[in-house]
Amino acid sequence: MNFSVVTSQFWSLCLQGLALGLIYSLIALGYTMVYGVLRLINFANSEVFMIGTFTVLFMQVTILNNDVNTKPIVGVTLLVTMFASLFGAMIICALLAMLVELVAYRRLRILGASRLASLISAIGTSIFLSEGMRIITHSRPQTAPRLLEKSSLGNIWGANIRIDTVITIVASILIFVLLDQFVNRSRLGKAIRAVSMSEENSRLMGINLNKVITLTFAIGGLTTGAAAFFYTTVYENTIFNVGFNLGIAAFTAAVLGGIGNIRGAFYGGVFLGLLEQFASAVLGSQWKAVTVFVVLVLVLLIRPSGIFGEAVQQTRT
């Protein structure tokens, strides 16, 4: 127990927690959107994230030819590298998420199989992807090159504001605003919301169910890919099982905010990120997972549908 940390490093913990929390919220979208339309836990999303982090590495090291120990680059080259790896990760993750839907979910959904069957095939996909990556990387953690000079933008209330944290926070919020507008304003967004309200009725209204579901997976993949880019930029390393802990945390965030609810995923992620930072500062980092789950249980006991309520029809299991 070390409460003095909370007062002495309050703002710095807040900033780190916010960046981590936004990464969680972006991954949580991959869970929450799929849960919204299919009522299924998209177990393979954590591996989509893992593949995303390796895509960022692959883009930066192999394709754009940056040595792992290279010096930070500047100017136009930096912008091009950053955007190329961000969009590369987003596109690969979206394609992978669509592939996961095709392989693990589609046939089972058409057969009308039980939700558990889809869960197991998703778990199978997850094992397949992470084991594949383990074999390719020989279980070794991979370091990402530090391309972005992590210069400080100055101190505010004793907190060191670093450029990568700022980029993560600003860009994540931007992505959320765009997505929120897309789902609430556009025609396809309306279709997604319709399917999450009632699958049968939306089919009767002429919505192409397969298309909407694939699109939902793709959006989840895009945001998860963005999260993978920010994660690699901030933490500068990855390993084949990186998805496991982040995936669980992100799913918890989705549940905390109210599953199926996009804004809920945002607030749930931020709340969880802050909670984790403060819990590991006070209790030691080994207890942060315990704190998170205790808080989750307490929140669900008081508000069984998450802090912001669910955006899905009631289902029975």
Nearer to other proteins, 5 or 123 (CB): 123
Q: Which of 91, 124, 161, 235 binds other proteins (CB under 8 A)?
A: 124
Task: Tell me if 265 sits within 8 A of 30, measured CB to CB.
Answer: no
> How far apart, in whole angstroms, are the C-alpha atoms of residue 143 and residue 284?
25
Question: For other proteins, what does the binding mask look like between residues 37 and 66, x meaning CB under 8 A?
Answer: ----x-------------------------
Question: For other proteins, what does the binding mask look like between residues 76 and 105, x meaning CB under 8 A?
Answer: ---------------------------xx-
Q: Which of residues 181-240 bind other proteins (CB under 8 A)?
A: none
Which stretches does DSSP call E strand in the chain?
142-143, 152-156, 159-162, 237-238
Smallest separation (angstroms) from other proteins to the CB of 250: 11
Q: Which of residues 132-171 bind other proteins (CB under 8 A)?
A: 132, 134-135
Token code pair at residue 64: 């754009």
Q: What's the start-to-end Cα distance of the chain, in Å?
A: 41
Token code pair at residue 113: 């199989």
Nearer to other proteins, 88 or 258 (CB): 258
Token code pair at residue 241: 């099982």
Q: 117 Cβ partners below 8 Å, 6+ apart? A: 108
- Dihedral angle at the C-alpha atoms of 166, 171, 173, 177, nearest 10 degrees? 160
- Kindly report the CA angle at 222 between 40 and 171, in degrees rounded to 5? 120
Question: For other proteins, what does the binding mask look like between residues 238 and 277, x meaning CB under 8 A?
Answer: ------x---x--xx--x---x------------------
- Taking contact as CB under 8 A, which single stretch among the options 16-24, 125-133, 178-186, 272-280 is the one that binds other proteins? 125-133
Smallest separation (angstroms) from other proteins to the CB of 204: 17
Nearer to other proteins, 160 or 305 (CB): 305
Nearer to other proteins, 41 or 234 (CB): 41
Q: 130 Cβ partners below 8 Å, 6+ apart? A: 47, 50, 240, 241, 243, 244
Task: Tell me if 49 sits within 8 A of 228, measured CB to CB.
Answer: yes
Q: How many residues bind other proteins (CB under 8 A)?
A: 47
Smallest separation (angstroms) from other proteins to the CB of 82: 33
Location of structure tokens 């883009």: 59
For other proteins, the binding residues (CB under 8 A) are 35, 41, 103-104, 107-108, 111-114, 116-121, 123-129, 131-132, 134-135, 244, 248, 251-252, 255, 259, 286-287, 289-290, 292-293, 296-297, 300-301, 304, 315-317
